Amino acid sequence: MFFKPVYANCPVCIITVGGGLLIAKKLGIDDLLVSIWISGLNTAIAFFLAAKIKNKLFNSPYLWTVVFYISTLFYLSYTKQLGHPGNSYLGIDKVFFGMTLGMMTFFLANFTDKFIRMKNRGKKLFNFQKVIVPLVFLLMVTFIFKLLL
């Protein structure tokens, strides 16, 4: 019996999160909180894309994450959505801060997932662990910064 590999970060999930981000922005949710999830979405797309690429040189999810991060910052800067006076946290633009925080959170969540699997002899502890761990990490960081704002 042959099984096809299953990728946890599916395109449908990615599109759903993207639509949710647009709605959140329209509802007036703080830029820092929305940008954490924008970066989480970028990172999820990067990890999904890297898993599909066969070329060894271009299949690093971290490389694609940095490319998406820089591309998004360039786009936001070009459309003048970065650097608004008063839209800062600790003197750093909220969008830039949130995107950086979201990317680092996703990396930490990915490391934690791999660490859990390593400690459990390569097996997951629960179903959808690869999805739930980053989701919980992003939710925790969002909640912490919601309280701080």
Q: Where are the domains of the chain?
A: 11-148
- The pLDDT confidence band at residue 147, using thresholds 50, 70 and 90, is very high
- pLDDT attached to residue 108: 94
Check whether 131 has a pLDDT greater than 80: yes
Nearest one of 133, 103, 98, 139 to 9, comparing CA atoms: 133
Mean pLDDT across the stretch 63-86? Answer: 83
- Comparing 55 with 117, which gets the higher pLDDT? 117
Check whether 127 has a pLDDT greater than 80: yes
pLDDT digits (tens, 9 = 90+) for 5-63: 544 445 555 555 556 666 777 888 888 898 898 888 888 888 888 888 877 777 788 88
Rounded-to-integer distance, Cα 35 and Cα 98, Å = 5
Q: What is the DSSP code (8-state) at residue 9?
A: S
- Comparing 23 with 137, which gets the higher pLDDT? 137
pLDDT cut 90: percent of the chain above it:
21
pLDDT cut 70: percent of the chain above it:
85
C-alpha 32 chain-centroid distance: 13
Q: Which residue has the tokens 């797309």?
A: 45
- pLDDT attached to residue 58: 77
- pLDDT attached to residue 42: 87
Backbone phi, psi, residue 101, to 5°: -65, -45
Nearest one of 35, 19, 24 to 75, comparing CA atoms: 35
